[in-house]
Amino acid sequence: MLITCPSGLKFEARPWTNRDRAALVDRGSTAGLKDTQKFMLMQACSDNTTREPKYFCIDPGPYGSVAGSSVDWDDVTLADITTALIEIRRVSIPEFSPDCNCTRCGALLSNLVLDLAEVLEDGSAAALGSTPARKEALEAIKNHTPVVLEPYPYITGEGRVEITFARGRDAEKIARIAEDPSYSSPLIQPLVHLAASISKLVLPDDTEVSATAGIVDVLIDETVDFVDTLKYVIDELEGGVDTVVRFTCDKCNSEQEMILPLGLKFFGLDPAESRRRYSGGSRVSRYLKKPGNA
């Protein structure tokens, strides 16, 4: 299948197989999340049995890769990587039951089943249902220069934000910072991802902050509106799939949101998942002939 990313990167891939899933298990849990995403992208671009690269870059988009060569996933933005992973997963295993606890009553939402085709269709009419990156973002990605927001999105005339967009090589750093217990709240975790797309904040008092953890600390103490605005601006610039999932808790009926988790479970490493996906009966009846039908 042809995957088209928000940046214009195009490459061929195949769906994941049981052999890929076994290979992921064989690597052990110590490999970490960063390697998991890259590993599964490389699997989707390789021959299923020989593991040799088989599917190549069709259009390098803003990256240094060459058409006909393997994609350098370390250089690719996480917005592109997320879009590609969701598209490959949608073809491999269309429905996804993430582990998720209600933020209000704490119940495990055991019957939450997401249809990834719907997630992708939430976007625009672009190839994957994702929105394309803007021209300013493509130039910044290509030249490794920041897009500069000046002034701060919410303070007139003061401060500056330099956006460089998180890439594959940043995933390990993001995972490490996200594990910090002081950032464990589900409301703080998205700020870690947001901070990874920012290379520098110049605060209204001229203080400069460029370490990712330092930027997270600034964002935690900023207004909700500031962070929402910044997230909106960055999402608009780099495009991609809206991975915010809205659902209702079946225990306390409260409505809430979460970001689609692209952890180990996303790659199909949950033995109970297929049972849960099929337990509604609709999938089973779809494939069973009704008795008496000719």
CB of 119 to Zn ion, least distance (A): 22
Site for Zn ion in 97-126 (CB under 5 A): 102, 104-105, 107
Stretch that binds Zn ion, among 21-29, 85-93, 150-158, 246-254 (CB under 5 A): 246-254
CB of 96 to Zn ion, least distance (A): 20
CB of 223 to Zn ion, least distance (A): 28
Stretch that binds Zn ion, among 47-55, 175-183, 241-249, 257-265 (CB under 5 A): 241-249
Under 8 Å between Cβ of 263 and 255:
no
CB of 253 to Zn ion, least distance (A): 7
DSSP classification of residue 159: -
Which residue lies nearer to Zn ion by CB, 1 or 252?
252
Q: Is 87 exposed, middle or buried (0-12, 13-18, 19+ CB in 10 A)?
A: buried
Site for Zn ion in 56-85 (CB under 5 A): none
Which residue lies nearer to Zn ion by CB, 10 or 251?
251
CA-based nearest residue to 39, from 62, 21, 55: 21
- Give start and end residues of each alpha helix (H) in 94-198: 116-121, 135-143, 171-178, 189-196
Is residue 283 within the footprint of Zn ion (CB under 5 A)?
no
CA distance 92 to 20: 11
CB of 106 to Zn ion, least distance (A): 7
Which residue lies nearer to Zn ion by CB, 26 or 255?
255
Site for Zn ion in 248-267 (CB under 5 A): 249, 251-252
Helix (H) or strand (E) run with residue 162 in it: strand 160-163
Which residue lies nearer to Zn ion by CB, 67 or 105?
105
CB of 254 to Zn ion, least distance (A): 5
CA distance 215 to 209: 6
Which residue lies nearer to Zn ion by CB, 221 or 255?
255
CB of 100 to Zn ion, least distance (A): 10
Which residue lies nearer to Zn ion by CB, 107 or 155?
107
Give the interface size with Zn ion as a residue count (CB under 5 A): 7
Q: Is 220 exposed, middle or buried (0-12, 13-18, 19+ CB in 10 A)?
A: middle
Distances (CA, A) of 163 to 21, 97, 150, 177, 277: 35, 33, 11, 19, 39
Q: What are the respective helix, strand and coil percentages of the chain, to the nearest 5?
A: 40, 15, 45
Which residue lies nearer to Zn ion by CB, 67 or 252?
252
Residues that bind Zn ion (CB under 5 A): 102, 104-105, 107, 249, 251-252
